[in-house]
Amino acid sequence: MKRICVLITALLSIFLFTGISVFAETLSNEEFNWSFNPSKNQQPATTEPHYEALIEKYGGLYIGETSEKELYLTFDNGYENGYTAKILDVLKEKNIPATFFVTGHYLKEEEELITRMIEEGHIVGNHSFHHPSLPKVSDERLEKEIKSLEQAYEEQTGRNDMIYLRPPRGTFSERTLAKTSEMGYTNVFWSLAYKDWETDQQKGPDYAYDKIMSRIHPGAVMLLHSVSSDNAEALPRVIDELEKQGYTFKSLDEWRIKQEMLFQ
Protein backbone atom coordinates (compact mmCIF):
# COMPACT_ATOMS: atom_id res chain seq x y z
CA MET A 1 0.00 0.00 0.00
CA LYS A 2 2.85 2.33 0.89
CA ARG A 3 4.48 1.71 -2.52
CA ILE A 4 1.20 2.56 -4.29
CA CYS A 5 0.93 5.82 -2.38
CA VAL A 6 4.51 6.69 -3.28
CA LEU A 7 3.77 6.02 -6.97
CA ILE A 8 0.62 8.18 -6.92
CA THR A 9 2.55 10.98 -5.22
CA ALA A 10 5.27 10.77 -7.86
CA LEU A 11 2.75 10.96 -10.69
CA LEU A 12 1.00 13.93 -9.12
CA SER A 13 4.38 15.65 -8.73
CA ILE A 14 5.02 15.21 -12.45
CA PHE A 15 1.67 16.80 -13.18
CA LEU A 16 2.13 19.70 -10.76
CA PHE A 17 5.70 20.61 -11.63
CA THR A 18 5.72 20.02 -15.38
CA GLY A 19 2.12 20.81 -16.30
CA ILE A 20 1.90 17.52 -18.21
CA SER A 21 -1.25 15.50 -17.72
CA VAL A 22 -0.50 11.99 -16.51
CA PHE A 23 -3.46 10.86 -18.59
CA ALA A 24 -2.34 12.51 -21.85
CA GLU A 25 -0.06 9.61 -22.67
CA THR A 26 -3.07 7.30 -22.94
CA LEU A 27 -4.44 9.22 -25.93
CA SER A 28 -3.76 7.72 -29.34
CA ASN A 29 -1.21 9.46 -31.51
CA GLU A 30 -2.15 7.52 -34.63
CA GLU A 31 -1.67 9.99 -37.47
CA PHE A 32 -4.62 10.68 -39.76
CA ASN A 33 -4.63 12.64 -43.01
CA TRP A 34 -7.76 14.73 -43.26
CA SER A 35 -10.00 13.80 -46.16
CA PHE A 36 -13.59 14.40 -47.15
CA ASN A 37 -15.97 12.76 -49.58
CA PRO A 38 -17.36 15.37 -51.98
CA SER A 39 -20.86 14.80 -53.22
CA LYS A 40 -22.87 16.12 -56.13
CA ASN A 41 -25.93 18.33 -56.54
CA GLN A 42 -25.08 20.49 -53.50
CA GLN A 43 -25.43 17.61 -51.05
CA PRO A 44 -23.21 17.94 -47.93
CA ALA A 45 -19.78 16.38 -48.01
CA THR A 46 -18.96 13.65 -45.52
CA THR A 47 -15.82 12.30 -43.93
CA GLU A 48 -14.66 9.13 -42.19
CA PRO A 49 -16.93 8.35 -39.20
CA HIS A 50 -13.98 8.15 -36.78
CA TYR A 51 -12.68 11.52 -38.03
CA GLU A 52 -16.08 13.07 -37.43
CA ALA A 53 -16.32 11.52 -33.96
CA LEU A 54 -12.91 12.90 -32.95
CA ILE A 55 -13.67 16.38 -34.27
CA GLU A 56 -16.97 16.46 -32.40
CA LYS A 57 -15.34 15.15 -29.21
CA TYR A 58 -12.78 17.95 -29.19
CA GLY A 59 -15.02 20.78 -30.40
CA GLY A 60 -13.61 21.14 -33.91
CA LEU A 61 -15.25 22.06 -37.20
CA TYR A 62 -15.21 20.70 -40.71
CA ILE A 63 -18.75 21.52 -41.86
CA GLY A 64 -21.40 23.93 -40.62
CA GLU A 65 -25.15 23.59 -40.34
CA THR A 66 -26.19 21.71 -43.49
CA SER A 67 -29.80 22.85 -43.29
CA GLU A 68 -28.73 26.45 -43.88
CA LYS A 69 -27.28 27.92 -47.06
CA GLU A 70 -24.32 29.33 -45.17
CA LEU A 71 -20.66 29.17 -46.18
CA TYR A 72 -17.37 29.71 -44.36
CA LEU A 73 -14.57 30.99 -46.58
CA THR A 74 -11.04 30.18 -45.42
CA PHE A 75 -7.60 30.62 -46.98
CA ASP A 76 -4.30 28.97 -46.13
CA ASN A 77 -1.41 31.45 -46.30
CA GLY A 78 1.91 29.67 -45.95
CA TYR A 79 3.73 32.22 -48.09
CA GLU A 80 2.81 35.12 -50.32
CA ASN A 81 2.62 34.65 -54.09
CA GLY A 82 1.26 38.07 -55.01
CA TYR A 83 -2.49 37.36 -54.97
CA THR A 84 -3.69 38.05 -51.42
CA ALA A 85 -4.10 41.78 -51.96
CA LYS A 86 -6.38 41.08 -54.93
CA ILE A 87 -8.36 38.58 -52.84
CA LEU A 88 -8.75 41.18 -50.10
CA ASP A 89 -9.89 43.74 -52.67
CA VAL A 90 -12.63 41.37 -53.83
CA LEU A 91 -13.74 40.54 -50.27
CA LYS A 92 -13.89 44.23 -49.38
CA GLU A 93 -15.86 45.15 -52.49
CA LYS A 94 -18.39 42.39 -51.89
CA ASN A 95 -18.43 42.65 -48.07
CA ILE A 96 -17.48 39.01 -47.51
CA PRO A 97 -15.78 37.77 -44.30
CA ALA A 98 -12.97 35.23 -44.44
CA THR A 99 -10.37 33.56 -42.25
CA PHE A 100 -6.70 33.52 -43.23
CA PHE A 101 -4.58 30.80 -41.60
CA VAL A 102 -0.98 32.01 -41.50
CA THR A 103 2.44 30.60 -40.64
CA GLY A 104 5.31 32.31 -38.84
CA HIS A 105 7.00 33.11 -42.14
CA TYR A 106 3.89 34.80 -43.47
CA LEU A 107 3.29 36.75 -40.29
CA LYS A 108 6.82 38.14 -40.28
CA GLU A 109 7.13 38.85 -44.00
CA GLU A 110 3.65 40.20 -44.77
CA GLU A 111 2.85 42.60 -41.95
CA GLU A 112 0.99 45.00 -44.26
CA LEU A 113 -1.35 42.24 -45.49
CA ILE A 114 -1.94 41.00 -41.93
CA THR A 115 -2.90 44.55 -40.96
CA ARG A 116 -5.31 44.73 -43.90
CA MET A 117 -6.94 41.45 -42.94
CA ILE A 118 -7.63 42.71 -39.43
CA GLU A 119 -8.71 46.22 -40.41
CA GLU A 120 -11.11 44.86 -43.02
CA GLY A 121 -12.84 42.57 -40.54
CA HIS A 122 -11.29 39.20 -41.30
CA ILE A 123 -10.00 36.58 -38.87
CA VAL A 124 -6.33 35.64 -38.73
CA GLY A 125 -5.94 32.00 -37.72
CA ASN A 126 -3.03 29.87 -36.54
CA HIS A 127 -1.36 27.53 -39.04
CA SER A 128 1.64 26.92 -36.71
CA PHE A 129 4.99 28.69 -36.89
CA HIS A 130 6.95 26.21 -39.03
CA HIS A 131 4.15 24.05 -40.50
CA PRO A 132 5.16 20.61 -39.13
CA SER A 133 2.88 17.59 -38.99
CA LEU A 134 1.70 17.92 -35.39
CA PRO A 135 1.40 14.16 -34.68
CA LYS A 136 5.10 13.84 -35.50
CA VAL A 137 6.26 16.30 -32.84
CA SER A 138 6.28 16.17 -29.04
CA ASP A 139 3.76 17.97 -26.84
CA GLU A 140 6.48 20.49 -26.02
CA ARG A 141 7.25 21.19 -29.69
CA LEU A 142 3.55 21.29 -30.56
CA GLU A 143 2.88 23.87 -27.87
CA LYS A 144 5.88 25.93 -29.01
CA GLU A 145 4.71 25.86 -32.65
CA ILE A 146 1.27 27.19 -31.71
CA LYS A 147 2.24 29.55 -28.91
CA SER A 148 5.18 31.16 -30.73
CA LEU A 149 2.93 32.17 -33.63
CA GLU A 150 0.25 33.36 -31.24
CA GLN A 151 2.76 35.48 -29.30
CA ALA A 152 4.33 36.92 -32.46
CA TYR A 153 0.86 37.84 -33.70
CA GLU A 154 0.04 39.58 -30.43
CA GLU A 155 3.34 41.48 -30.40
CA GLN A 156 2.84 42.56 -34.01
CA THR A 157 -0.84 43.51 -33.84
CA GLY A 158 -1.60 44.11 -30.17
CA ARG A 159 -4.42 41.56 -30.38
CA ASN A 160 -4.86 38.30 -28.47
CA ASP A 161 -7.79 36.88 -30.44
CA MET A 162 -6.06 33.97 -32.22
CA ILE A 163 -8.32 31.00 -31.36
CA TYR A 164 -8.72 29.03 -34.61
CA LEU A 165 -6.17 26.47 -35.75
CA ARG A 166 -5.80 24.81 -39.12
CA PRO A 167 -3.67 21.71 -38.53
CA PRO A 168 -0.58 21.94 -40.75
CA ARG A 169 -0.55 19.49 -43.65
CA GLY A 170 -4.08 18.41 -42.65
CA THR A 171 -2.64 15.78 -40.32
CA PHE A 172 -3.94 15.13 -36.83
CA SER A 173 -4.34 12.57 -34.07
CA GLU A 174 -6.48 12.34 -30.97
CA ARG A 175 -3.48 13.56 -28.98
CA THR A 176 -3.05 16.70 -31.11
CA LEU A 177 -6.76 17.49 -31.10
CA ALA A 178 -6.88 17.11 -27.32
CA LYS A 179 -3.72 19.15 -26.75
CA THR A 180 -4.69 22.05 -28.99
CA SER A 181 -8.24 22.07 -27.62
CA GLU A 182 -6.76 22.25 -24.12
CA MET A 183 -4.78 25.27 -25.33
CA GLY A 184 -8.04 27.01 -26.23
CA TYR A 185 -8.05 26.39 -29.98
CA THR A 186 -10.80 25.26 -32.31
CA ASN A 187 -9.40 22.94 -34.98
CA VAL A 188 -10.84 23.96 -38.36
CA PHE A 189 -10.78 21.38 -41.15
CA TRP A 190 -12.82 21.68 -44.37
CA SER A 191 -15.57 20.13 -46.48
CA LEU A 192 -14.70 21.79 -49.79
CA ALA A 193 -11.30 22.02 -51.46
CA TYR A 194 -9.53 21.05 -54.63
CA LYS A 195 -5.91 20.71 -55.74
CA ASP A 196 -5.17 24.41 -56.07
CA TRP A 197 -1.81 24.85 -54.32
CA GLU A 198 0.57 23.80 -57.10
CA THR A 199 1.59 27.15 -58.52
CA ASP A 200 3.10 25.62 -61.66
CA GLN A 201 -0.06 23.66 -62.39
CA GLN A 202 -2.64 26.46 -62.59
CA LYS A 203 -5.36 25.80 -65.17
CA GLY A 204 -7.22 29.08 -65.38
CA PRO A 205 -10.10 30.75 -63.51
CA ASP A 206 -12.79 28.76 -65.32
CA TYR A 207 -11.28 25.54 -64.00
CA ALA A 208 -11.23 26.94 -60.45
CA TYR A 209 -14.80 28.17 -60.76
CA ASP A 210 -16.05 24.81 -62.01
CA LYS A 211 -14.22 22.89 -59.28
CA ILE A 212 -15.57 25.08 -56.49
CA MET A 213 -19.12 25.20 -57.80
CA SER A 214 -19.26 21.44 -58.36
CA ARG A 215 -18.47 20.83 -54.68
CA ILE A 216 -20.47 23.59 -53.03
CA HIS A 217 -23.07 22.64 -50.41
CA PRO A 218 -24.88 24.19 -47.45
CA GLY A 219 -22.61 24.58 -44.45
CA ALA A 220 -19.42 24.24 -46.50
CA VAL A 221 -16.13 25.18 -44.88
CA MET A 222 -14.26 26.23 -48.00
CA LEU A 223 -10.49 25.86 -48.15
CA LEU A 224 -8.69 27.83 -50.85
CA HIS A 225 -4.98 28.56 -51.12
CA SER A 226 -4.05 32.18 -51.61
CA VAL A 227 -1.01 31.25 -53.75
CA SER A 228 -3.35 30.23 -56.57
CA SER A 229 -3.79 32.71 -59.41
CA ASP A 230 -6.83 30.70 -60.50
CA ASN A 231 -8.56 31.31 -57.15
CA ALA A 232 -7.84 35.03 -57.20
CA GLU A 233 -9.29 35.33 -60.71
CA ALA A 234 -12.33 33.13 -60.09
CA LEU A 235 -13.31 34.51 -56.69
CA PRO A 236 -15.54 37.43 -57.81
CA ARG A 237 -17.56 35.15 -60.08
CA VAL A 238 -17.80 32.45 -57.40
CA ILE A 239 -19.13 34.90 -54.82
CA ASP A 240 -21.63 36.50 -57.19
CA GLU A 241 -23.04 33.15 -58.32
CA LEU A 242 -23.29 31.72 -54.82
CA GLU A 243 -25.10 34.80 -53.54
CA LYS A 244 -27.40 34.57 -56.55
CA GLN A 245 -28.19 31.00 -55.46
CA GLY A 246 -29.14 32.24 -51.98
CA TYR A 247 -25.95 31.45 -50.09
CA THR A 248 -24.54 33.79 -47.45
CA PHE A 249 -20.95 33.94 -46.21
CA LYS A 250 -20.45 33.78 -42.45
CA SER A 251 -17.39 34.20 -40.26
CA LEU A 252 -16.06 31.48 -37.98
CA ASP A 253 -16.92 33.74 -35.04
CA GLU A 254 -20.58 33.55 -36.04
CA TRP A 255 -20.35 29.75 -36.07
CA ARG A 256 -18.69 29.77 -32.62
CA ILE A 257 -21.38 32.04 -31.14
CA LYS A 258 -24.06 29.67 -32.43
CA GLN A 259 -22.29 26.75 -30.78
CA GLU A 260 -22.03 28.58 -27.47
CA MET A 261 -25.75 29.40 -27.56
CA LEU A 262 -26.61 25.74 -28.20
CA PHE A 263 -24.77 24.64 -25.08
CA GLN A 264 -26.04 27.35 -22.75
Annotated catalytic residue 200 = no
Q: What are the tens digits of pLDDT across the range 160-188?
A: 999 999 999 999 999 999 999 999 999 99
List the catalytic residue out of 50, 76, 210, 217.
76
Comparison of pLDDT for 95 and 39, the residue scoring more: 95
Q: Which residue is catalytic, options 127, 139, 225, 230?
A: 225
Q: pLDDT per residue over 14-31, tens digit each?
A: 343 334 444 445 899 999
Indicate the pTM of the whole model. 0.90
Please report the pLDDT score of residue 262 as a whole number.
Answer: 77
Question: Which residues neighbour 248 within 8 Å (Cβ) at sequence distance 6 or greater?
Answer: 69, 70, 71
Tell me which residue of 209, 222, 218, 221 sits closest to 245, measured CA to CA: 218
The string of pLDDT tens digits covering residues 105-129 is: 999 999 999 999 999 999 999 999 9
Contact status, residue 202 vs residue 56, Cβ threshold 8 Å: no
Q: What is the mean pLDDT of the chain?
A: 92
Please list the alpha-helical segments (H only) found in 158-187: 174-182
Q: pLDDT band for position 261 (50/70/90)?
A: confident
Instruction: Respond yes or no: is residue 225 known to be catalytic.
Output: yes
Share of the chain above pLDDT 90, in %: 87
